Amino acid sequence: MNQGSTLADSIITAENGAVVRQLAQQFGLSEDAMAGAIRGLAPALARGLGRESEHPDGSQSLATALETGDHQRYIEDPAILGQAATTEDGNKILGHVFGSKDVSRNVAAFTSEQTGLDASLLKKLLPVLAPIVMGILAQQLTKGRGQPQAAQAPPAAPRQGGGGLMDVLGGLLDTNKDGSMMDDLLGMAGKMMRPRGG
């Protein structure tokens, strides 16, 4: 199974396919084409989040965002995916995950080559897909802990075992399962994003 495919499957089957139906209508694609776009873009988002979570500050920030961001609303009410506020939220998430609009363009271009879909459409899809990804991760974190959605627990200790963030989400954010070109793409992006090191 390719990196990110578990995440893509979770998005595609969310709410009995309601998320895909909404996105397909919103972007003028068939549901099959939208599912293909999601399968193409999910690895970049998964790997980007995985790379972010490997750093103590990044993992704590991700844990806090998943605990407090109410991203599950994007899964439970797909109609809001068409709102400008969703895209705004998504662009903020992409800023943390990719760090540069150039990376989003590169990811869209790479996925366009893989899927045959228009790169400009994929670039517009990315900031809508990002909150959905966060919603899926938030759902998995809630399920993994066996807590109700509204539980007011502090963010997980993300770097250690015993039910921390990466234990719960490891299947979706595993960053080293294969030698995907996405590693090279995001690796080059990382160099661009951190010209002064660190």
What pLDDT is attached to residue 27? 97
Do residues 17 and 142 touch, judged by C-beta distance below 8 A? no
What pLDDT is attached to residue 170? 64
What pLDDT is attached to residue 171? 63
Q: What is the largest CA-CA distance in the chain?
A: 46
How would you write the pLDDT of the chain (198 residues) with one tens digit per residue? 444 447 899 999 999 999 999 999 999 999 999 999 999 998 888 888 877 767 767 677 787 888 888 899 999 999 999 999 999 999 999 988 887 888 899 999 999 998 999 999 999 999 999 999 999 988 888 776 654 444 434 444 444 444 456 665 666 665 445 444 445 445 534 433 333 333
What pLDDT is attached to residue 96? 84
Annotated domain spans of the chain: 5-188
Query: Is pTM beyond 0.85 here?
Result: no
